[in-house]
Structure 1
Amino acid sequence: MKRLTLLTTATLIYASVGFTIASVAQADESSKAQTELANVQTQMEQTPLLQLQHEWAHINYELEDDQKEDAFIALIAKAKAFVNEAPDNAELLIWQGIIQSSTAGAKGGLGALDFAKAARKSFEQAMRLDENALSGSAMTSLGVLYHKLPGWPISFGSDKKAEKLLKHALEVNPDGIDPNYFYAEFLFDNGKYSQAREYAQKAKQAPARLERPLADVGRRQEIAQLEAKIAQKS
């Protein structure tokens, strides 16, 4: 009788443990499913603009350099699809241009020129629609493009055009992190270290962009790197 009782008790314990394990497994699977659903819902709730901004930041600041070109090219396709659906949306055109410009930077060499030309076209089209869209980001980005590229006969780079665009962007968005950072970088590259320090400080003090936390972290790291280079020249 005792043996039967022990066996029965053991069976019940085993069944209870098995039920608990199964319940935990089911709960775990349910939690995973809920997380995946939440991620899908978040993706669906994001506007096309935010999707491009967040994916760009992930590629630009989190991927290894040898992974960036292919990832940016894939993101260009997504940007083009969004622009095709809303061809008069200056904000989407700006981000199409930013991604094209970033692809040029990731690719490098003469092969980057086609992406750079495409970026210029996107920025110019956005400016024709609304040059103040996204606080003048088309002017900032096109100014950076002109500054980074070599001049004729290799490419269409021009510091004269770059400076004009970067200054105009600062008139539109004097406290923004990007226009101040990129103008500081422009000044540094042209040997104007005291002025570069001033604009780097303004960039560092710019208000946070709550909808773009990763981009802010990455940009602030770039500001710190620029300040370190400026300090070496002092």
Structure 2
Amino acid sequence: MNNKRLLTLAICSTLTASASFAASTELQALQTSWAKCQYNTSDKDQKEQCLNEVVQKNTEYLDAHPNDPELTVWLAINKSTLAGAKGGLGALSLVKEAKALLESVIDRAPQTLDGSAYTSLGSLYYQVPGWPLGFGNDKTAEQMLKKALEINPNGIDPNYFYADFLAQDGRKEEAKQYFNRALQAPSRPDRPLADQGRKMEIQAKLKELS
């Protein structure tokens, strides 16, 4: 292989590494911003504005890194969280957009972020109204959430959302089991606010079930 070819490969490798680092840095910024919107913003209007800004920034990042599966998952998470903040029928378009984004990741990179696309899509299926208003379906929700747990059995989020699904389905003892598993999940050093906020949600849910 000649020197020119080696130089070309070195440049390409450097550019790829730089792009991956940039996307990773942007992902962490999005995760931090989401947690601040979700757990540090109590006013409804301020939370909606905060999430709108995160969705806009996420869209910009994804435009710069087309088809990045991690940024795609987080755009879906941010859109579905914004839908929850908005509420009402006007939120349905956002959750349908989130659904399409998550399905695209499951089709091409299902292991992304420890199967987070399955967790997020499963949570949408049990929280969104069913036909004719939406696509909600408890059977599909449970399938998705169980798949997420197969990929990431000890994660705080897959255990939390499966427990929440079980609680809403009236399966209280099973729900308590998975909420407690979520509480025992390993801490995520890069996401302390999200872990703290999620654990507060879990404790509140367990109190409701006691």
What TM-score results when the alignment is normalised by the length of structure 2?
Answer: 0.87
Report the aligned-residue RMSD. Answer: 1.4
Q: Partner of 1:94 in structure 2?
A: 73
C-alpha deviation, 1:128, in angstroms: 1.9
Distance 1:102 1:132 in 2: 22
Distance 2:39 2:135 in 1: 27
Distance 1:121 1:76 in 2: 15
CA contact (8 A) 1:137 1:169 kept: yes
Q: Partner of 2:102 in structure 1?
A: 123
Distance 1:87 1:123 in 2: 15
Question: Secondary structure of 2:185's partner?
Answer: coil
C-alpha deviation, 1:45, in angstroms: 11
1:179-218 equivalence runs, <5 A: 179-218=158-197
What TM-score results when the alignment is normalised by the length of structure 1?
Answer: 0.78
Q: Partner of 1:32 in structure 2?
A: none
Verify: 1:50 aligned to 2:28, yes or no.
yes
Task: From the superposition, tell whether residues 92 and 196 of structure 1 become closer, same or farther in structure 2 (CA, over 3 Å).
Answer: same
Distance 2:119 2:155 in 1: 11
For 2:25, the aligned partner's letter is T
- 5+ residue gaps, structure 2, are 1-21
Distance 1:45 1:152 in 2: 37
Which of residues 111, 115, 121 is equivalent to 1:136? 115
Which of residues 130, 153, 163 is equivalent to 1:174? 153
CA contact (8 A) 1:176 1:206 kept: yes
Task: From the superposition, tell whether residues 93 and 45 of structure 1 become closer, same or farther in structure 2 (CA, over 3 Å).
Answer: closer
Distance 1:118 1:174 in 2: 27
CA contact (8 A) 2:23 2:65 kept: no
Distance 2:133 2:103 in 1: 21
Verify: 1:79 aligned to 2:73, yes or no.
no
Task: From the superposition, tell whether residues 63 and 128 of structure 1 become closer, same or farther in structure 2 (CA, over 3 Å).
Answer: same
Question: Secondary structure of 2:27's partner?
Answer: helix
C-alpha deviation, 1:114, in angstroms: 1.0
Which of residues 14, 22, 41 is equivalent to 1:63? 41
Q: Partner of 2:17 in structure 1?
A: none
Task: From the superposition, tell whether residues 45 and 128 of structure 1 become closer, same or farther in structure 2 (CA, over 3 Å).
Answer: closer
Which of residues 107, 120, 136 is equivalent to 1:157? 136
For 2:178, the aligned partner's letter is Y
C-alpha deviation, 1:46, in angstroms: 7.2
Write out per-residue CA displacement over residues 162-187 of structure 1, whole angstroms, 9 at most, x where no aligned residue: 10000000000000000001100100
Equivalent residues, number: 188
Distance 2:107 2:48 in 1: 29
For 1:150, the aligned partner's letter is P
- 5+ residue gaps, structure 1, are 1-43
For 1:71, the aligned partner's letter is C
Q: Which structure carries more relative contact order (alpha carbon 8 Å, separation 6+)?
A: 2
Question: Secondary structure of 1:47's partner?
Answer: helix
For 2:31, the aligned partner's letter is Q
CA contact (8 A) 1:76 1:99 kept: yes
| Greater mean alpha carbon deviation, residues 61-70 or residues 168-177 | 61-70
Over the matched positions of the two proteins, sequence identity in percent amounts to: 46
